[in-house]
Amino acid sequence: MKGKQDSICLTYLHNFLPVDLEIVSWSPTLIIYRNLLTPRQTSEFLKFIEKRDLTIQKTTDYGTSKETTHRRANGSFIDHGENEITSEVHKKVTKRIPALNFQSAELFSALSYIPGGHYAVHYDYLSYRSDKEHDWWMNMMRNRIGTLIFVIKTAEKGGGTVFPSIGTTIKIDEGDAFFWFNAQADESQEMLSDHGGCPIYSGRKVIATLWIRAKDQPVIPMAASGSPIDASWMIPSFSTAFRRDQKSQTPIEH
């Protein structure tokens, strides 16, 4: 059984560290990581972002960036090791979420949404008309296989993230994060990963995104092609017990 109706909450231990998560959808994967950042880490990350020179963000269409009405937000890109808090957060997710290789992640994309801010339904998977349009990231690290979003500050009203094909809207607390796959194991586009940022009606929403590229991702050699990557691959006790010379839609039955 799969889907949003089968969502569960669980805790796993990795490197003696507890990780609390809620699996909203098994297939396609949609996971909430509860309290992934401590209040101190959330506060320091917010203070660091607020000191940045945030600019109007653009959208990408066939490799070309441009300003559109599809997204209204200000933001900035931040190196993983730019200061103590960004380095701490990057190291933390590397230790807590071993199913993903965060060395293949893009820079942090920090976004601030004020009232009226939104992002129309879209895909994070990048499409190009030809290989000539590929940038360094695409040539060296391949496409965006997954997205991890940290919630740094929540709006007073509005600001959820809607997933139309899954049939749910994510509205979570500061310090939480959520993850989904943008691609299947054969690196083709996951057509059920469409999502959008709901309008802000009051207050301000601040998030930090890590787009995770496909290069050297441990799930790719194991998960079966032709179907969504199942959320069970994100649970270490399940995925590490699976024989890597085999391919399967999921390492467990659920």
User: pLDDT category, 242, cuts 50, 70, 90?
Assistant: very low
Task: Give every CB contact of residue 173 below 8 A, 6+ residues apart in sequence.
Answer: 34, 151, 154
CATH 1.20.120.330 fits 27-242, yes or no: no
Strand-pairing partners, residue 99, are: none
DSSP letters for 165-226:
TTTEEE---TT-EEEEESB-TTS-B-TT--EEEPPEEES-EEEEEEEEESTT-TTTTTBPSS
At residue 243, the pLDDT reads 46
Torsion of CA 184, 188, 194, 197, to 10 degrees: 90
All structural domains of the chain with their residue ranges: 27-242
Check: CB of residue 61 under 8 Å from CB of residue 70: no
pTM of the model: 0.90
pLDDT of 121-161, one tens digit each? 999 999 999 999 999 999 999 999 999 999 999 999 999 99
User: Over the stretch 46-105, which tens digit does the pLDDT of each residue have?
Assistant: 999 999 878 765 455 545 555 556 767 889 999 999 999 999 999 999 999 999 999 999
SS3 236: helix
Q: What angle do CA 118, 213, 244 make, to 5 degrees?
A: 130
Q: Sorting pLDDT into bands at 50, 70 and 90, what band is 31?
A: very high
What are the distances in angstroms from CA 4 to CA 23, 63, 167, 169?
8, 33, 8, 11
Determine the Cα–Cα distance for residues 30 and 7; give it in Å rounded to an integer.
9
Task: Indicate the pLDDT class of residue 9, thresholds 50, 70 and 90.
Answer: very high
pLDDT, one tens digit per residue, over 184-225 is 999 999 999 999 999 999 999 999 999 999 999 999 988 888
